[in-house]
Amino acid sequence: MNELEISCASTDRKSNAWDSIDWLRCEIAVKKLQARIVKAQKEGRYGKVKALQWMLTHSFYAKALAVKRVTSNKGKKTAGVDRVLWKTPKAKFQAISELKRRGYNPQPLKRVYISKKNGKQRPLGIPTMKDRAMQALYLMALEPVAETTADNNSYGFRKERSTFDAREQCFCVLAKDVSPEWILEGDIKGCFDHISHEWLLNNIPMDKVMLRKWLNSGFVYNSELFPTVEGTPQGGIISPTLANMTLDGLEAVLKRRFKTHCKKGVYTSYKVHLIRYADDFVITGASKELLQNEILPIVREFLHARGLTLSEEKTKITHIGKGFDFLGYNIRKYNGKLLIKPSKESLKRFMVKIRETIEAHKGAKQESLIRLLNPIITGWANYYRYSVSSKTFRKADKLIFEKLWQWAQRRHPKKGKYWVADKYFHKINNRKWTFAVTPNKRKPESIIVLKRLYDTKIKRFVKIKGDANPYDPQWKEYFEHRETYKMLQSLNGYKSLLHLWKRQQRCCPYCGEPIDNEHSWSVVKQLTNNRMDSFLLHDGCRRSYYQLKTEDYEPAFM
């Protein structure tokens, strides 16, 4: 194929290679259509929504972005049952023309099993590259509707929302003196595996033909084909959104039923609040009886209509004085003061991972061990940096030190402890017993230091507004301000770097992808026209940039 016709909305042009695609133009065109879908959905013009969804799923720009998504994410090296991967630019460009509704039949999923926290196995379905791209394409048309109709306090698998928002909502609901004291901890049994296909086909506002094909595609395990009569496959790109839309509406049901009212001058407040992250949720209430006798039956009825049931072993009612675990946090009131800390189970899993890493590298160099441990420590610290975690961080640092001391002593059984301490632990910035090494003795500045959890600065997280919609142009200024605030927080106040970030249109000049506080990046300097310029690159892009070894390379924004 020499050239391919491109059509999206009122824009037409031609492109003949993957590298010649204007990705910024693609994103702008798709965002415009998504904004129109949101507007039509808010106005109740459902016929218009359907027409705009059809236009979006048949546009070149959306198809190109769908192929780009599945060939640039973590699963790009994992093939489906057809063992096909799109690695070359030619294969990626050819794939765009293959994303057609007419004649499309998805292939069965490749079934694998991954271990869960409780030791059980979770089934995971891996679609082929083409099926992933088709799901990504139709997800672009479905997500604007899903965001517009979603529960305000649903935070899992949604754009611009995270576990931090769910945790902060727990604080907002439970921290006051007049806050509810009883909590229903809910967990849905096999949510993805048991959603009713009939309910999905009757209630999800998308192409029913495509949805039915994905739901009935089946899966292959041990070279044997099995049918799928219920559920959405975990591993499919569109599955989290389908699960979210299945559970949306429970918050509205509870609000209508347990609305605060006044009768003869007496106010009755049930203090009912729902906070949900994917299929894990908590519901607050004024009393244990309210949760047990009224709210729990409503939840069970709501789920039953969708083919779902509660997990009896994980569903329980708890008093805030005893506390409960949610998303890896322990939420509890101590003498009337609410504290949100890392849960004991989370600390235990973290230390198991640290110990396993150290045990697996008994003979490794100190430098290699530090490089292996630092990302694990940084990831765990970043997750809990918005909670009351200083004491937990100090305890974890102590446990890590004890394990490293065992590791060091084991390597030199005939040496004394002072010799071992002098070799592996050093005094840096008035801090003794720092696990560090200098690979190049001639360059003292090349020292590599093991990170300490306690050095992580505890911050306060600002929760997203409940009705904020990233696909609605009315919220554009809000999300830009929020993104700038998050970036400034990650820069620790360095406004000069914030200026660089804005000058680059908040994107990496090498790959064109956004630079944010969720991905690691670095400052790179380059001599241009006898002037030293600085710019920000993703860490992966920085390595590729240096491998070019060309003096004439200039960032895209210059």
Task: Determine how β-strand 431-437 pairs with β-strand 425-428.
Answer: antiparallel
Convert the pLDDT of each residue in 71-89 to its tens digit: 988 888 889 999 999 999 9
**pLDDT-wise least confident of 278-287, 322-331, 526-535:** 526-535
Task: Kindly tell me the sign of the dihedral angle through the C-alpha atoms of 35, 40, 43, 46.
Answer: negative
Bridge partners of 4? Answer: 15
Contact of 130 with 70, CB cutoff 8 Å: no
Convert the pLDDT of each residue in 372-414 to its tens digit: 999 999 999 999 999 999 999 999 999 999 999 999 999 999 9
pLDDT of residue 409: 94
Chain-centroid distance of CA 131 in Å reads 22
- The DSSP annotation for 399-440 comes to HHHHHHHHHHHHH-TTS-HHHHHHHHEEEETTEEEEEEE-S-
- The DSSP annotation for 126-189 comes to E--HHHHHHHHHHHHHHHHHHHHHS-TTB-TT-TT--HHHHHHHHHHHHSSTTS--EEEEEEBT
Spell out the domain ranges in the chain.
Answer: 11-148+196-221, 149-194+229-340, 342-447, 471-550
Chain-centroid distance of CA 377 in Å reads 19
Chain-centroid distance of CA 509 in Å reads 24
What the block records as the tokens of 506 is 């908040």
Percent of the residues in the chain that have a pLDDT greater than 70, as a whole number: 91
Contact of 148 with 41, CB cutoff 8 Å: yes
- 382-393 in b/e form (b: 16+ CB < 10 A) is ebbbbbebeebb
Prediction pTM value: 0.88
As a whole number of angstroms, the distance between CA 162 and CA 63 comes to 27
Q: Which of these CATH numbers, 3.40.1710.10, 3.30.70.270, 3.40.50.300, 3.10.580.10, describes 149-194+229-340?
A: 3.30.70.270
Q: What is the mean pLDDT of the chain?
A: 88
Percent of the residues in the chain that have a pLDDT greater than 90, as a whole number: 65
Q: Domain 471-550: state its class.
A: alpha beta
> Is the pLDDT at 557 greater than 70, yes or no?
no
Residue in the structure block whose two tokens are 């690979």: 439
As a whole number of angstroms, the distance between CA 24 and CA 21 comes to 9
Convert the pLDDT of each residue in 413-440 to its tens digit: 999 999 999 999 998 888 889 999 988 7
As a whole number of angstroms, the distance between CA 36 and CA 48 comes to 9
pLDDT of residue 267: 58
**Which has the higher per-residue pLDDT, 538 or 179?**
179
Contact of 236 with 136, CB cutoff 8 Å: no
| CB within 8 Å of 2: residues ≥ 6 apart | 16
**pLDDT-wise least confident of 103-107, 115-119, 232-236, 352-356:** 115-119
Mean pLDDT of 527-537: 75
